[in-house]
Structure 1
Amino acid sequence: MDTTVSGVGVEAVEYVQESGAVRTQFDQEKTPASMAVIATLADVMDTDPVELDPLYSTLDPDELDALVRVRNGTNGDSHVEFTHEGHAITVHSYGVISVTPEPEPTAEKYERGAGR
């Protein structure tokens, strides 16, 4: 492992300043996807992982781990997309997690839909 994110070892971390997105690559042999998601999200939110809502309030962590378990190259990529703690999260079966803050709703959006 090259670095840690919220105490979890990861192979690479990439920050995209314009969008606020963070991509981490983790070793699926050593770290379950669910643990890597929480570590990455905690890093993005600059908080302790235990302060986050439990992942199971959004989805079943065991199911997430099973869906994106290490696959050989002939199976292609499978991925899971979901929202947790106000962030769009994508977990790929090749060990990459992308976390992007969801945009804040604006007053203009509410005003357009007010007459409906």
Structure 2
Amino acid sequence: MDAVVSGVSVESVEYHQDAAAVRTQFDQEKTSASMTVIATLAEVMDADPVELDPLHSTVDPDALDKFVRVGTGTTGDIHVSFTHEDHEITVSSYGVVTISQGDKSPAEKYGKDAER
């Protein structure tokens, strides 16, 4: 299933109540990890992406994109975790961004359906 998150094309978006997290899967050939992070974060915060603190205030977006880029597969999966805008963010080399905050379920926090 293809979806659009804050104007960015992604493969899917899931709101996991049990983990209180939003998980976005993206195609690294079409969308960068850093762009997916900002788009997903803007979606969960119900904000315009340009209203967020610049990602480079927390992590180097170019380095993030290169670091999690799918490689030859000989090094295994890579996960980069950091905090931005009071949200815990993990970016995985297999094209997944996971964002979480606090104890509330994503539906309670973000006013969204449990999954879409």
The aligned residue for residue 53 of structure 1 is: 53
The percent of aligned pairs where both chains have the same amino acid is 69
The 8 Å contact of residues 86 and 102 in structure 1, kept in 2 or not, is answered as: no
Could you list the structure 1 runs, at least 4 aligned residues long, displaced by more than 4 angstroms after superposition: none
1:6 aligns with 2:6: yes
Aligned match of 1:74: 74
1:1-116 matches, cutoff 5 A: 2-102=2-102
Structure with larger RCO (C-alpha < 8 A, sep 6+): 2
Aligned counterparts of 2:47 and 2:53: Cα–Cα separation in 1: 12
Alpha-carbon offset, residue 18 of structure 1: 4.6
Larger radius of gyration: 1
CA distance in 2, matches of 1:52, 1:91: 18
Unaligned runs of 5+ in 1: 104-116
Contact map agreement 1:3 1:10 (CA 8 A) in 2: yes
CA–CA distance in structure 2, aligned partners of residues 87 and 28 of structure 1? 22
SS at match of 1:23: strand
**Structure 1 vs Structure 2 CA RMSD:** 1.7
Deviations 1:38-59 (A, max 9, x none): 0011111011101100000001
Structure 2: give runs of 5+ residues left out of the alignment.
104-116
SS class of match (2:31): coil
Give the structure-1-normalised TM-score: 0.82
Kindly state the Cα deviation for residue 102 of structure 1 after the two structures are TM-superposed. Answer: 4.2
Shift of 1:29: 0.4
Displacement of 1:66 in angstroms is 0.8
Comparing 63-72 with 87-96, greater Cα deviation is found at 63-72
